Amino acid sequence: MQNGGWLFFLLLAGIAGSLMAVQGSLNSLLGESIGLLYMSFAIHLLAVITAGVLVLFFPPPSDLLKKITATPPYAWLGGPLGLAIIFGVAMSIPRLGVGVATTGIIFFQLFTAYLIDHFGLFSQEHSPFTWIKAVGILFMVTGSYLLLKK
């Protein structure tokens, strides 16, 4: 990316990461109050309503049906995976604490992300795993150990 455009997207990713920690905490609280299944249903219903309102302001492209039928079937697994993620986060935060749970989430999220990049899975661009990335992961493991040490 030119002219520091990558910085904007890095900031956007950072904001999303911060929102994930807040969301996990709120989902955990709601799940303890009304139960995990009902919490999940409620937050997904609210997400559908929110997306529905946004769709009213952004009409679909004329070739939407063509794009839907051309999409590989595995690309539709985001919904069920989202449900599994929400359950996992909501169940782990009250038992581990936000910091410990988030440390585990981030570590395994990055580990999985580098596997996806290295093998070019799910139509992502291939980005080989290098020794410098291995050193970075080693630092992360060390940092995770220090964060989790009581």
pTM score: 0.76
In the chain (150 residues long), the average pLDDT of successive 10-residue segments reads 76 87 92 94 96 93 94 92 91 88 85 90 89 88 78
What is residue 37's predicted lDDT score, i.e. its pLDDT? 93
Per-residue pLDDT at 147: 78
Q: Count structural domains, the chain.
A: 1
* pLDDT of res. 145: 76
CA distance 35 to 14: 29
CB < 8 Å & 24+ apart, contacts of 70-77: 72/123, 74/122, 75/122
Q: What is the pLDDT of residue 2?
A: 63
**Domain housing 74:** 5-148
pLDDT value of position 30: 95
Which residue in the block uniquely carries the two structure tokens 């038992």?
95
* Chain centroid to CA 143: 21
